[in-house]
Structure 1
Amino acid sequence: MADWGAVVIAVVLFVVLSPGLLFQIPAKGRLVEFGNMQTSSISILVHSLIYFGLITILLVAIGVHINAD
């Protein structure tokens, strides 16, 4: 059996939390901007910390598993 939970969760979080795609925290001059398609180094750091926190909670603490038979 293949466990696809980690792969699906990682891909979805990567797409959703890409800085500048849907939103950017912190933005230039604001706390949050939506759909600006720009990024900065501090924004990359913040989004990577959010990504790490969410993937740790979903995979380790909750234990999401998707089994493909």
Structure 2
Amino acid sequence: MLQAKSSSTGSVGNWGPVIVAVVLFVLLTPGLLFQIPGKSRVVEFGNMQTSGASIAVHAIVFSGLITIFLVAIGVHIYAAKV
């Protein structure tokens, strides 16, 4: 019979997926650093505007990068609970 272990001190948590997702989310926010497609050009930098098309493109780029970092590369950052 399988029993779940209770969380005790000294257990380790994997923070890699959380940190990678937050950093990518902030960096890929449409209009913050860049926007693909822009309103007048293909790429616009720091315009702080967005559109439906740019949200879709940034979501696809985010999904691809998070898949590469978490599945293909396997980023792991462990933090021990004290």
Q: 1:60 aligns with which of 63, 71, 74?
A: 71
Q: Percent identity?
A: 68
Letter in 2 for 1:18: T
Aligned pair partner of 1:21 in 20, 32, 47? 32
Question: For residue 40 of structure 1, what is the aligned residue in structure 2?
Answer: 51
Q: Unaligned 5+ residue runs, structure 1?
A: none
Number of positions where the alignment pairs a residue of Structure 1 with one of Structure 2 = 69
1:30 corresponds to: 41
Unaligned runs of 5+ in 2: 1-11
Question: For each residue in 1:12-45, what CA deviation from the matched residue of structure 2 results, as whole angstroms up to 9, or x when unmatched?
Answer: 0000000000100000120100100000000000
Q: Which of 13, 16, 19 is the equivalent residue of 1:5?
A: 16
Give the CA RMSD over aligned residues. Answer: 0.4
Structure 1: which 4+ aligned runs deviate by more than 6 Å? none
TM-score, scaled to structure 2: 0.83
Could you say which residue in structure 1 is the equivalent of 2:6? none
Give TM-score scaled by structure 1 length: 0.98
